[in-house]
Structure 1
Amino acid sequence: MDDLDVKLLELFTDEPRIGALEASRRLKVARGTVTARLERLEATGVITGWAPQLDPAAIGHPVTAFLTLEISQGVGHDTIGDHLAGIPEVLEVCTITGAGDLWCRVVARSNADLQAVIDRALAHPGIVRSSTVIALATQVPYRVLPLLVRSSSS
């Protein structure tokens, strides 16, 4: 990835609806260059999608929590992951090291609704223990661009 790729990704991250023509004007390169680079960045997995970023709070789910789950020996992470994927309020599931086996980011409409989400998550017999932490605020939202900018400059 070169400086033009980084500038292109910065531009589309800041203004996702900009379009190839306007991006080519601002970056002072041919429209075909912009299009070809975007296609390459998609093909190599750098760009994983063009969907809008949704705010769970704005669609009625203001409570964010993190569940740490411990699973029974012999029960695969993927089996539990498939179960959790069936719960719409589960936004993300990762296999982890340390205390617990899986980490889940979940959202809910209220604390009472959070309890219902947790109950649905724990309905799988392979989950033996859980702990929950409720997020009070987000100081740094999920981001990747600063990592890209830093790695391209080193």
Structure 2
Amino acid sequence: MDATDLKLLAALQRRADMTAQELGEHLNLSPSQAARRRARLEAQGVIAGYRARLDPARLGLDVQAFVEVQMTAHNAENTASFLRLVGTLPQVVACWTLTGDADYLLRVWCDDLLALNALIQNRLLPHPAVARVQSQIVMDQPKADAGLPLG
């Protein structure tokens, strides 16, 4: 991967819908050269996919929270069962395993505080693999989700 590839990746992180013409202009390459580089990075799996960034507020999603989950026991059955549950919850937009007190960190979006409460009280806490749940509600996001640091 060279400096031009990194510049291409940085541009696509900012605006993934750039045409080959726009990429070529940005990289000082012909559109076909830019398209070939993008295609190669896609084929290599460096570019894993593209998606639209949606405005949560315009979709009625007014509460973002991070939910820490501590498991009752650490075994394959609990893990599989809990991850199956997480997979069924559209409010959970990301899930990480952690070191420390919490076993999982969930990033969730809900319509409102009542919906967040219902998610925690009615879906997460009743699960037999869940010992404890702690949530932090996002008040503001001064830095938006950014792309990966390149070069």
TM-score norm. by structure 1 comes to 0.86
Q: Which ranges in structure 2 are unaligned for 5 or more consecutive residues?
A: none
Q: CA–CA distance in 2 between the matches of 1:3 and 1:108?
A: 41
Aligned Cα root-mean-square deviation (Å): 1.7
Task: Tell me what 2:65 maps to.
Answer: 65
Task: Tell me what 1:83 maps to.
Answer: 85
Percent identical residues: 30
Q: Which ranges in structure 1 are unaligned for 5 or more consecutive residues?
A: none
Task: Tell me what 2:30 maps to.
Answer: 30
* Contact kept? 1:63, 1:108, Cα under 8 Å: yes
Runs of 4+ in 1 over 4 A off after TM superposition: none
Equivalences for 1:1-154 in 2 at 5 Å?
A: 1-73=1-73, 74=75, 75-119=77-121, 120-145=123-148, 147-148=149-150, 152=151
Deviates more, 1:118-127 or 1:103-112: 118-127
Q: Give a deviation string over 1:54-111, Cα, whole Å, max 9, x none.
A: 2322211110111111112224434312211101101111110001111101111111
Deviates more, 1:59-68 or 1:42-51: 42-51
Amino acid paired to 2:125:
L
Which secondary structure does the structure 2 equivalent of 1:26 belong to?
A: helix
- Alpha-carbon shift at residue 128 of structure 1 (Å): 1.2
Amino acid paired to 2:115:
D
Q: CA–CA distance in 2 between the matches of 1:121 and 1:45?
A: 34
Amino acid paired to 1:9:
L
Q: CA–CA distance in 2 between the matches of 1:14 and 1:92?
A: 21
Q: CA–CA distance in 1 between the matches of 2:144 and 2:26?
A: 27
